[in-house]
Structure 1
Amino acid sequence: MSRAIKNVVLAGASGNVGAQVLNALLDIKEFSVTVLSRSPRPFPVGAQIKVVDFTSIEDLSAALIGQDAVIDTTFSPDVETPLRLIEAAAKSGVYRFDFGLDPELPGVYDLPVFGRKKASYEAVKKQAAEKRMTYTLISCGAFLDWCLSTGFAGLNFQEKTAWIFGDGNNVHPWTTLEDVGKATANVLLHPQETLNRPVYIHSVFMSQNQLFDIAKGISGGEWTATYNDMEPLLQKALGDLNSGNISDATFVVQIQYCLATEALAHPWKSDDNPLVGLEEWNSEKVKALVQEIANQKAV
């Protein structure tokens, strides 16, 4: 059975996703919010801070006494951190969150880049099956604003070059960090409707080529595009991983491969936007975001 959520713990509040989730939780005004942190640091007014040892289940469990929900937005290749949070949370029956592509699609969690998420998902499902806790996952696709600003979306506004995943035509979900934060906080207002399942959200369904067309229309001038066969790039990344020749690209390519592959990334069959208070973006809103990021890159 679900229960009303009042006391909420957030882990990873200083990260890109966690900061947006924290802002959204504090905006709702209905939650008592506690941030778990590895060391003392400033957070927005309204959040309580608990410094904890993330390597200790006992320390984490003590910090969760009296809490109704735990949101995990930690980001680390270390799979043990989320597993310890899950074990600690299970002792008090709480909710846990993860972010990314659809965990129910065959093949998504088979890629090593999602190994941490796969282990976490299997752990929470096991805890739920044993009636020790409940969970919700946030399936949001790629982070639209972050991908544009970091170059992960393949668009270089300064050099006017585009690195295209496959043919660039696969349409898939993109969600801004702000929308992810809002949806995550609002899920806690609907504990029964979101019980033990992924919640599917998006800001927009769009292909990389559609984003590229918007970028070209905004910036003008000549762009150079490179279209990449993602299969050999994936195999090279997996080979590098197995040989220990690991770099950021080893993991980036795996995600970009997913975004180029319809079987692994496509518009959700189930849409939870209305439930969590999100509105789908129109092309003009996407264009405004691309313009904003292009302006930042020009400075």
Structure 2
Amino acid sequence: MSSETPIKNVTLVGASGNLGRVLLSHLLKTNLHITILQRASSKSTYPSHPNLTITTAPSWSVPELTLALHGQHAVIAAFPLRDLPAHLTLAAAAYASGTVTRFIPADYGSVDARSKRAQDLVPLFGKKVQVRETLEMLSEVSGGRLSWTSLVNGHFFDWGLTNGFLHFYPFGQPPRAHILGSGNEKSSQATLGQVSKAVVSILTGDAGHLEKTRNKVLMLQSFLVSQNEVVDVLEKVTGNKYERQYVDTEEYINERKRVADAGGEGAGEAIEDLVFALGVVEGDWTNRQEYAMGLLGLEEEDLEAVVRKALEETEEGRKLLAGSGNYL
């Protein structure tokens, strides 16, 4: 069976996370009924909404999750893919539920996880591939009833702009940017809201749209941008001149890989730095077959508006904008 039927009931796992909170907000603006599935240990709370249900799994096992997912039509995994067994268990339960027809795994990649270099540098990308391969197998054994869609969106731009992940430091004295290579290489990056719009597009589509997105990796962006272009905009909206620190890309990747492989203190930060670097050097998919902005009904966002909004969401950023006269 490969025909698609419209989706009504959606389970979101990881609703309290950076992406999950934004996803939930977008999903609740639709006519879908949303169920938040959480572990028994979760302390997260959510505002009441007529289309929202909270369900707790007594244990993270296939039998318990199967019961929780029965009657659901789609599952969104929005929790970190550090714990591979937890994600594989959720996928197995979606298959066993007998009712789930679409699974959106926690891909949301800075790069395509199928990249051999990405897998060699960061084990996380290998885990993402394992989840995809499991979903492919489950789709086959279900006779096509269960399908999946993986989203690859580049770095979470608005999330990473002010917390140092993207190596921009707007609150430093002086503000600075840590730039790989010439800083002119462009990469696809997306806001949390843009990723959420993509998920909504997939789940609210008619049977024809669901068919077009089934069992596929789809790539999206808010914009294709270079590191220098981001700094230019930061300087414009804050009125502050940035110190641009340029480093050789390959030397940086090799040094960070050595630290990551050594383990111990600093290894976690080194892995994040490798993810950042991969997104810079392998993140342009505007010419890839999987590029799906049109299919998902998405439009690019305005870089300056996104930068200003990201700054406005932090106290330090509001002070910067107020000092420049750009805070409204």
TM-score (norm 1): 0.89
**3-state SS in 1 of match to 2:16:** coil
1:130 partnered with 2:131: no
Measure, in 2, the Cα distance between the counterparts of 1:271 and 1:54: 38
User: How far does residue 16 in structure 1 lie from its aligned partner after superposition?
Assistant: 0.9
Measure, in 1, the Cα distance between the counterparts of 2:184 and 2:190: 18
Q: 2:309 aligns with which of 286, 289, 293?
A: 289
User: How far does residue 219 in structure 1 lie from its aligned partner after superposition?
Assistant: 2.5
Contact kept, 8 Å, 2:158 with 2:307, in 1: the verdict is no
User: How far does residue 290 in structure 1 lie from its aligned partner after superposition?
Assistant: 5.7
Q: 1:78 to 1:53 in 2, by over 3 A?
A: farther
1:94 partnered with 2:104: no
- Residues 48-72 of structure 1: per-residue CA shift (max 9 Å, x gap): 0111145312111110111111110
Q: How does 1:252-263 map to 2 (within 5 A)?
A: 252-261=272-281
Q: How does 1:14-163 map to 2 (within 5 A)?
A: 14-29=16-31, 31-38=32-39, 39=42, 41-44=44-47, 45=49, 46-53=51-58, 55-91=60-96, 92=98, 93-97=100-104, 98-100=107-109, 101-110=111-120, 111-131=122-142, 133-159=146-172, 160-163=175-178
User: How far does residue 277 in structure 1 lie from its aligned partner after superposition?
Assistant: 3.2
- Residues 78-126 of structure 1: per-residue CA shift (max 9 Å, x gap): 1111111111111224322231133444433443232331221221122
Amino acid of the residue matched to residue 177 of structure 1? L
Q: Which moved more, 1:224-233 or 1:181-190?
A: 224-233
Q: 2:227 aligns with which of 200, 208, 232?
A: 208
Measure, in 2, the Cα distance between the counterparts of 1:41 and 1:292: 25
Note the aligned Cα RMSD (angstroms): 2.3
Q: Which moved more, 1:185-194 or 1:273-282?
A: 273-282
- Residues 185-237 of structure 1: per-residue CA shift (max 9 Å, x gap): 22112311101001222111111111011112222343212112232333333
Measure, in 1, the Cα distance between the counterparts of 2:88 and 2:94: 10
**3-state SS in 2 of match to 1:250:** helix
Amino acid of the residue matched to residue 150 of structure 1? N
- Residues 124-176 of structure 1: per-residue CA shift (max 9 Å, x gap): 12222334621001111111100112121211112211111232222111111
Measure, in 1, the Cα distance between the counterparts of 2:21 and 2:314: 23
How many residue pairs align between the two structures?
296
Q: 1:260 to 1:178 in 2, by over 3 A?
A: closer
**Corresponding residue number in structure 2 for 1:248:** 268
Q: How does 1:1-20 map to 2 (within 5 A)?
A: 1=2, 2-20=4-22
Structure 1, gaps ≥5 residues long? none
**3-state SS in 1 of match to 2:296:** coil
Q: Which moved more, 1:59-68 or 1:35-44?
A: 35-44
Amino acid of the residue matched to residue 63 of structure 1? A
- Residues 240-277 of structure 1: per-residue CA shift (max 9 Å, x gap): 3333225331221211221231xx21133243223333
Measure, in 1, the Cα distance between the counterparts of 2:5 and 2:117: 34
User: How far does residue 281 in structure 1 lie from its aligned partner after superposition?
Assistant: 1.7
Contact kept, 8 Å, 2:168 with 2:176, in 1: the verdict is yes
Q: 1:280 aligns with which of 285, 300, 305?
A: 300
Measure, in 1, the Cα distance between the counterparts of 2:18 and 2:55: 20
Amino acid of the residue matched to residue 24 of structure 1? H
**3-state SS in 2 of match to 1:274:** helix
Structure 2, gaps ≥5 residues long? 320-328
Q: 1:290 to 1:8 in 2, by over 3 A?
A: closer
**3-state SS in 1 of match to 2:294:** coil
Measure, in 2, the Cα distance between the counterparts of 1:287 and 1:51: 37
Measure, in 1, the Cα distance between the counterparts of 2:124 and 2:179: 20
Q: 1:7 to 1:293 in 2, by over 3 A?
A: closer
